[in-house]
């Protein structure tokens, strides 16, 4: 283990005498305040804190028979209690003390620390915690890899990050750098033998320095035998029992492996529809959603947490009003589903009618198909609009089962549910499908659990699957972007070939589309570090142009060596279009560095592209704490706050709060139209989606300093949501509200993905 340097002593309060301390191995010894002092000095080194105050707080808590663990925990409690906006670095002191305990506990438990990586691998394989695939590397290669470990990288975590890392991601008797190194080696296992160590070293350095964040399924499951590494899945149900129960089974398999899943139910007949020739026999979509709800509870990711399922339905479906009431307390409890995450799939035509306060018709997909031969769920854009006009012309004639409603009033009901529960999510179907590079092979029915990842889905044939990583913008210099993007794309492309898909349609999708999602986190920190804000649109625009370009180029370069994805021929990529299925002329007009896009378009047409979708920005709510940065690309909720955890409150603050305090926008008081403008700017360079939460403060005077008595009205929220659609955002994730000054945000916004 790392040696702790003994620093000069300081004048301290009197230390209690005749105290026996119980070590971790059960033996006892006299209390030695010098050892405590050296740990305190080490934990406080290079931080803007006074170590004397930490030890002074501890000495009042010592008693005979105290354990070394209790001393360590007391030091942590003292450090956390002193953390404040004025002295935020105490949270790093607490993080180091937590890591010190982990080091000591591991040393006692297994008998060695970081000094012998091959021994650690053998130990974990023997305990059946590590997949035997790691033994593809010889003991000599493992020894070389072990020499890369930098134990000092363990000291960069604040307390929230250190606790989440150890509790959620590390295996029994495992240290952080061992986890990262083992992941890097496994991610590189299929590289050419002469290159794989070199590639693994690059992977390890980027992961351990927290420049690339592995999504939770990769970091948690990669090292264990037969782990599924994909974060995001989407399946769709056909209107028959075989399809419905098959997809419920697939949902259970996904949940077992820790993935989040979107299930589209738009094809299922509505309440009161025909069953076996009998009218009014169908119970509609809600009973099937309830089965999905109970599946998510029953298959609880190995006891770690409940499964997570978003259920999507198109906004023209006759059951939409009851769908919006599934999570209310009133009504028939047998038709409630409190544990799923509802999602509405919305075409442009509906949004235009919301703007115009025009009429909208809700219909039964079974009757529409039976009477008019239209599979309405599969249509979008002009095809949908023509079909919908034909359906409306048949209302009361061939179409008997329908309901007319004012589109604006329906949208108000949607908004009311969002303000009360945060949901439904909104997926703008036409925007999503216009940007789909694989229109020649199908359509995208909706979005995944966190609204950032989606591609073609065919019931029973292709289930959307995606692997994710994120770039930590807080830790990446501009000169590193190209290299880090290249590594991120390579990591994810390798992940496709080593994962164990949880169901057959997932494997088919992986093989055909090779969908990946390179995301980003820490934008708030990137801006603050450079004295910029969310109004710095030009700088945000170029940053994500860089990310979009280098990730796309990296996938093209991989295609030269490994071949294009199977459905490339006939795709928008194949036709010379680029991110978002946009023609190269768009890039000549909007890009800040234009000519490189022309060359990239030509190269893709010549060499292909390895991955059909490449970039997607996940919420990263918990993993950003491990990364020590702000979540995703959104502003920080608050510059400093305490979050409630099981063992008390934990201080949360962005990394540069001390030096860039004034440049952090607080989302709890920020006009959300500023957020939408920034997200829409980023979306131009992201070929899949972005998890965009909107946070509305309902207190008086927050957004209207000249009108202190005025608070946000429903019309203000409506205008903001309309703006999201108009500006080209693909989806709206949670709607959060601040209703009183002591409102606290949970860190578990995306409980299943935890990307």
Catalytic sites, residue numbers: 448, 450, 452
Which residues pair with residue 520 across a beta bridge?
471
Buried-exposed string 315-328: b where 16+ CB fall within 10 A, e elsewhere: bbbbbbebbbbbbe
Cβ-in-10-Å burial (0-12, 13-18, 19+) of 568 comes to buried
Q: Cβ distance 521 to 633 under 8 Å?
A: yes
| SS3 label, residue 310 | strand
Question: Which residue has 């620390």 as its token pair?
Answer: 113
Q: What pairs with residue 518 in β-bridges?
A: 469, 615
Three-class HEC string of 214-276: ECHHHHHHCCCCCCCCCCEEEEECCCCHHHHHHHHHHHHHHHHCCCEEEEECCCCCCECCCEC
Please write down the HEC assignment for all residues of 448-464.
CCCCCCCCCCECCCECE
SS3 371: helix
Category of 298 on φ-ψ map: left (φ > 0), alpha (ψ -120 to 50) or beta: alpha
| Nearest one of 617, 665, 609, 610 to 639, comparing CA atoms | 665
- β-partners of residue 275 are 278
Cα–Cα distance measured from residue 548 to residue 546, given in angstroms and rounded to the nearest whole number: 5
Beta bridge partners of 278: 275
Token duo for residue 18: 């005749």
Distance CA 704, CA 513 (A): 48
Residue with structure tokens 């952090």? 664
Instruction: Label residue 175 left, alpha or beta by phi (over 0 means left) and psi (-120 to 50 means alpha).
Output: beta
- In whole angstroms, give the CA distance from residue 581 to residue 183: 34
Strand partners, 4: none
- Pick from 550, 608, 572: nearest CA to 439: 572
Residue keyed to tokens 């949607």: 414
In angstroms, the CA 604 to CA 624 distance is: 33
Look up tokens 């670095």; give the residue: 89
Of 661, 642, 668, the C-alpha closest to 741 is 668
* Helices 176-187 and 139-146, packing angle to 10 deg: 130
Burial class (CB in 10 A: 0-12, 13-18, 19+), 477: exposed
**Greatest extent of the chain over all pairs of C-alpha atoms, in Å:** 94
- Tell me: cis bond preceding 424? Omega within 30 of 0 counts: yes
DSSP 544: H
98-to-75, 181, 250, 635, 648 alpha-carbon distances in Å: 10, 21, 39, 28, 15
Q: What tokens were used for 365?
A: 């997909």
- Tally of CB atoms within 10 A around 741: 8
CA distance 488 to 481: 10
CA distance 289 to 680: 32
| Rg of the chain on CA atoms, in Å | 27
In sign, the C-alpha dihedral spanning 482, 488, 91, 95 is: negative
Report the C-alpha gap between 6 and 344 in whole angstroms.
Answer: 61
């Amino acid at each position: 283990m790392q040696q702790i340097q003994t620093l000069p002593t300081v004048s301290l309060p009197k230390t209690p005498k005749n105290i026996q301390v119980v070590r971790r191995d059960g033996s006892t010894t006299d209390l030695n305040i010098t050892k405590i002092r050296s740990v305190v000095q080490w934990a406080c080194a290079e931080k803007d804190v006074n170590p004397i105050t930490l030890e002074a707080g501890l000495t009042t808590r010592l008693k005979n028979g105290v354990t070394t663990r209790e001393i360590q925990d007391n030091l942590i409690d003292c450090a956390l209690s002193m953390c404040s906006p004025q002295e935020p670095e105490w949270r790093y002191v607490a993080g180091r003390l937590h890591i010190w305990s982990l080091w000591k506990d591991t040393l006692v438990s297994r008998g060695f620390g970081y000094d012998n990586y091959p021994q650690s691998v053998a130990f974990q394989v023997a305990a059946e915690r590590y997949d035997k695939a790691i033994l593809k590397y010889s003991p000599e290669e493992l020894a070389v890899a072990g020499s890369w470990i930098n134990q000092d990288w363990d000291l960069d975590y604040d307390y929230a990050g250190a606790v989440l890392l150890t509790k959620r991601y590390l295996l029994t008797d495992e240290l952080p750098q061992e986890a990262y190194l083992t992941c890097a080696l496994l991610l590189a296992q299929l590289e050419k033998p002469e290159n794989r160590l070199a590639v693994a070293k690059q992977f390890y350095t980027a992961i351990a320095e927290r420049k690339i964040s592995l999504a939770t399924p990769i970091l948690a499951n990669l090292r264990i035998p037969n782990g599924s590494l994909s974060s995001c899945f989407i399946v769709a149900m056909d209107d028959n029992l075989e399809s419905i129960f098959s997809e419920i089974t697939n949902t259970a398999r996904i949940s077992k492996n820790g993935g989040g899943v979107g299930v589209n139910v738009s094809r299922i007949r509505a309440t009161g529809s025909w069953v076996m020739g009998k009218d009014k026999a169908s119970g509609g979509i809600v009973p099937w959603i309830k089965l999905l709800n109970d599946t998510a509870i029953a298959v609880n990711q190995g006891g770690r947490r409940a499964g997570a399922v978003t259920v999507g339905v198109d906004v023209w479906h006759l059951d939409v009003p009851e769908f919006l009431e599934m999570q209310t307390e009133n009504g028939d409890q047998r038709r409630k589903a409190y544990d799923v995450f509802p999602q509405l799939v919305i075409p442009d035509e509906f949004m235009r009618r919301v703007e115009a306060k025009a009429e909208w018709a809700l219909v039964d997909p079974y009757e529409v198909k039976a009477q008019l031969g239209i599979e309405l769920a599969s249509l979008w854009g002009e095809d949908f609009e023509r079909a919908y006009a034909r359906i409306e012309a048949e209302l009361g004639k061939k179409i008997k089962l329908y309901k007319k409603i004012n589109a604006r009033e329906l949208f108000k009901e949607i908004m009311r549910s969002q303000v009360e529960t945060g949901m439904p999510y909104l997926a703008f179907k036409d925007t999503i499908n216009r940007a789909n590079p694989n229109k020649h092979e199908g359509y995208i029915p909706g979005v995944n659990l966190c609204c950032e990842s989606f591609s073609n889905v065919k019931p029973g044939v292709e289930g959307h699957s995606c692997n994710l990583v994120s770039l930590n913008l807080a830790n990446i210099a501009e000169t590193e972007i190209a290299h880090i993007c290249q590594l991120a794309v390579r990591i994810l492309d390798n992940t496709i070939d080593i994962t164990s898909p949880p169901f057959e349609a997932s494997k088919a999708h992986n093989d055909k589309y090779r969908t990946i999602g390179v995301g980003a986190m820490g934008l708030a920190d990137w801006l603050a570090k450079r004295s910029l804000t969310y109004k710095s649109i030009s700088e945000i625009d170029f940053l994500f142009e860089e990310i979009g370009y280098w990730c796309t180029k990296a996938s093209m370069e991989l295609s030269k060596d490994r071949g294009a994805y199977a459905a490339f021929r006939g795709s928008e990529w194949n036709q010379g279009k680029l991110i978002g299925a946009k023609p190269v002329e768009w890039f000549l007009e909007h890009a800040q560095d234009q000519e490189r896009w022309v060359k990239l378009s030509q190269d893709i047409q010549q060499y292909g592209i390895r991955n059909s979708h490449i970039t997607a920005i996940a919420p990263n709510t918990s993993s950003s704490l491990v990364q020590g940065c702000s979540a995703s690309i959104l502003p920080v909720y608050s510059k400093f706050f305490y979050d409630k955890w099981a063992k008390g409150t934990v201080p949360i603050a962005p990394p540069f709060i001390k030096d860039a305090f004034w440049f952090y926008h607080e989302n709890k008081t920020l006009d959300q139209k500023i957020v939408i403008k920034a997200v829409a700017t980023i979306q131009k360079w992201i070929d899949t989606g972005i998890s965009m939460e909107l946070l509305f403060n309902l207190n008086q005077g927050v957004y209207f300093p000249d009108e202190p008595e005025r608070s946000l009205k429903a019309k203000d929220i409506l205008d903001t949501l309309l703006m999201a659609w108009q500006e080209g955002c693909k989806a709206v994730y949670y709607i959060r509200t601040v209703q009183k000054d002591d409102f606290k945000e949970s860190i578990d916004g995306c409980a299943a993905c935890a990307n």
